[in-house]
Amino acid sequence: MTTVVARPHPFDVATTLTRSSSGSLFGNTTADYANMVGPFGGITAATLLRAALRHPDRIGDPVSLTVNFAGTVADGPFEVIADPVRTNRNTQHWVLTSLQNGVVTTTATAVFGTRRSSWADTELVAPRVDDPDSIAPQQFPRGLAWVHNYEMRFVDGGIDGLATGEPAGSATTVWLRDVPPRPVDFAALTALADTFFPRVLLRLGRIVPVGTVSMTVYFHADADTLAGHGDQPVLGTARAKRFAHGFFDQSAELWTPAGALLATSHQMVYFKA
């Protein structure tokens, strides 16, 4: 008889935090999610969210998360401080910090809330697109590690222009999925919200220096909706509003195949061009 031991998903390895004997939380960057410099921001954001999610005093589920990328995260260990600074009956407010050698690399705040049934409506309309199976997954060069943890099937606004030098609009519609497939929980959803390439690259049709300075995720799905979604692909859309003075914004939405809005996300990005 052969015993099959399930290997943990690379995402879970990358976002794991362990408590040291002094009580501090520590994580470790992994080569799997390396970006050009330091780890993929979505993994950093997901790791900070997990620090609150796994905290013994946590109440409710994530409602909003803002992560500010203060400095480069070096390969290796980092410390995370998760402070539930205010707990109300139905909401809880977190201040989250990541440090390396005592220097702040990332700041974040999160609001958790107890969800209850309420009047509901989605005003935004999900894009009507072809099934993911009918679109070939994007092939990526080996150089950039983190993208290989995601299957991206571009409906439009892909990255071909980066190879051909062709400027384009900033809008992208893409089917996204963890590789290998993994149930979409709040942490995975956070990382998925950061998988959209910086819009300025699409607009200019070339690689320029970029770095997200602040990213916010609003969680519209409750835990039941995520459990029902499982590991299906997520439909993502993203676009920018304005580029100026070395900064631009981009906003994104993440949908289930059935058209339920899981999350919306916004970020401000530094660029040099």
Candidate residues 32, 55, 59, 70; the one interacting with a copy of itself per rule CB under 8 A:
70
Nearest to 44 by CA among 20, 91, 8, 79: 79
Candidate residues 47, 149, 237, 264; the one interacting with a copy of itself per rule CB under 8 A:
264
Q: Which helix (H) or strand (E) holds 26?
A: strand 25-28
Q: Do 148 and 173 contact (CB within 8 A), yes or no?
A: no
Rounded to whole angstroms, the Cα distance separating 229 from 234 reads 9
Point out which span in 2-10, 59-67, 142-150, 153-161 binds a copy of itself (CB under 8 A). 59-67
Which residue's CB is nearer to a copy of itself, number 16 or number 251?
A: 251
> DSSP readout, 186-205?
HHHHHHHTT-SPPHHHHHHT
Determine if 244 is a binding residue for a copy of itself (CB under 8 A): yes
Two structure tokens written together for 139? 């092939």
Candidate residues 213, 230, 258, 259; the one interacting with a copy of itself per rule CB under 8 A:
213
Strands 150-156 and 172-178, how do they pair? antiparallel
Candidate residues 117, 142, 143, 165; the one interacting with a copy of itself per rule CB under 8 A:
117
| Count of positions on this chain that bind a copy of itself (CB under 8 A) | 63
Determine if 128 is a binding residue for a copy of itself (CB under 8 A): no
Which residue's CB is nearer to a copy of itself, number 32 or number 249?
A: 249
Q: Fill in the DSSP letter of residue 136.
A: P
Determine if 2 is a binding residue for a copy of itself (CB under 8 A): no
- Cβ count within 10 A of residue 27: 24
Two structure tokens written together for 228? 């029902």
Q: Fill in the DSSP letter of residue 15.
A: T
149: left (phi over 0), alpha (psi -120 to 50) or beta: alpha
Least separation in angstroms between CB 77 and a copy of itself: 19
Determine if 135 is a binding residue for a copy of itself (CB under 8 A): no
- Residues in contact with a copy of itself by the rule CB under 8 A: 63-64, 66, 68, 70-71, 85-86, 88, 90-91, 93, 95, 97, 103-105, 107-109, 111, 113, 115-124, 169-170, 200, 203-204, 213-214, 216, 218, 220, 222, 239-247, 249, 251, 253, 261, 264, 266, 268, 270-273
